Amino acid sequence: MSLYPATGPVYSTSSGHISKSRTELQSQIETFWKYVGSNMRNPKWEWTDMHIDVLSPNAAVMTASYRVPHLNPMNTPHTIAGAWTAVFVNRDGRWVVVQEHLSDVPPAPAAAADSAGTMDHSGH
């Protein structure tokens, strides 16, 4: 939560939901931790691409992609990944995120991979 301002609105979009306050965002982060983060063993954060545009002396936007390889509770390798766009502003000498959008990389559909070799040119 230290990335976000202590007061004022914070807009965060992920999984089709928009949080409009620090309290809502904290709830979303706690839910992620409860169901996903707490099940990761030996996670390693990796930035895979990053772009930053300075909008003014007190504002910048970052768009980056990331991946987090880890072991699941059964000690099987697993990776979550996605992209994050964040608007940073300088408030009281501190850079904070006031608006962000997170987009998860969807899991590869197993059925599509299995049937790819059995389709003819008409898609059947």
Q: Are 2 and 26 in contact (CB under 8 A)?
A: no
Q: Are 81 and 44 in contact (CB under 8 A)?
A: no
Predicted local confidence at residue 33, as pLDDT: 92
- 27 versus 116: which is more confidently predicted? 27
Look-up: residue for tokens 């839910």?
Answer: 31
Predicted local confidence at residue 116, as pLDDT: 47
pLDDT tens digits, residue range 90-122? 999 999 999 999 999 987 776 554 544 444 444
Assigned CATH class of 11-101: alpha beta
Domain-wise residue ranges, the chain:
11-101
Helix ranges (DSSP H) in the chain: 22-35, 110-115
Predicted local confidence at residue 61, as pLDDT: 98
pLDDT tens digits, residue range 79-92? 999 999 999 999 99
Backbone φ and ψ for 84, nearest 5 degrees, come out as: -135, 125
pTM of the prediction? 0.79
